[in-house]
Structure 1
């Protein structure tokens, strides 16, 4: 049996993701916070535009954490936690910083989960778009 090493998410990758996300948000005139986590959920990089709402720092981090833990874009999880959804109790059942609002994306390399990005500050659809744009710059 052979194993192939996957290059982990680096600080340089994280900085490139933040720059690309911020450029996309600036182009839309939206001040944001951007969080990049490694595969273990540890903070690799964070940036909050000075005019972004303060809570965006927390929401960007929670979106990234949620995307990482569930290996899914947070936009795909929103309906699952509604009162009739299968994950309805998940946000309160665990003592974890989960947030089921669009704007968090898992990051994969060679088919392996290596981290996540979360963006807060815009409307959920905007945050998701900025994160998607940033990931395109990484590949």
Structure 2
């Protein structure tokens, strides 16, 4: 089973920042988690606010927790708020159910990790995550 290397994680972060710069976004923070939800890499651009790690991590962690990108989790929160509230309780408040948490899938469609991006609008955060994941040859699944 393929896994994420540290070099791939660093490239994901670099490309997310490059995409943000090209789109003239606010300062971004990017987290990359492995399939088990463990931190592989994190960077926060100069000027990003202080809770950005927790937000980026919560987007990626939530995606892994339910096996769908955080856009799907966002839709689920709108349709079944009680489910997402219960999920967040089980996760000790660590789930952030808004777009910007994108699953990383290998060529066989297996989940091998997730990227969480925060700093601009959720839609823009997701655009950066998708571009970054695809830059290393994996499939991005925003949900």
Q: How does 1:1-139 map to 2 (within 5 A)?
A: 6-30=1-25, 31-82=27-78, 84-85=80-81, 87-96=83-92, 97-109=94-106, 110-139=108-137
Return 5+ residue gaps in structure 1 as ranges.
Answer: 1-5
Pairwise CA distance, 1:29: 2.1
Secondary structure class of the residue paired with 1:52: coil
Query: Are 1:82 and 1:88, in contact at CA under 8 Å, matched by a contact in 2?
Result: no
Q: What TM-score, normalized by structure 1, do the two folds share?
A: 0.88
The runs of 4+ residues in structure 1 deviating greater than 2 Å are 82-93
Distance in 1 between residues matched to 2:86 and 2:8, nearest whole Å: 31
Moved more, 110-119 or 89-98: 89-98
**1:43-77 deviation per Cα after TM superposition (whole angstroms, max 9, x unaligned):** 11000001112222211111111111112110122
Return 5+ residue gaps in structure 2 as ranges.
Answer: 138-143
The 1:65–1:95 alpha-carbon spacing in structure 2 relative to 1, beyond 3 Å, is closer
Query: Are 2:71 and 2:100, in contact at CA under 8 Å, matched by a contact in 1?
Result: yes
Q: What TM-score, normalized by structure 2, do the two folds share?
A: 0.85
Q: Which structure is larger by alpha-carbon Rg, 1 or 2?
A: 1
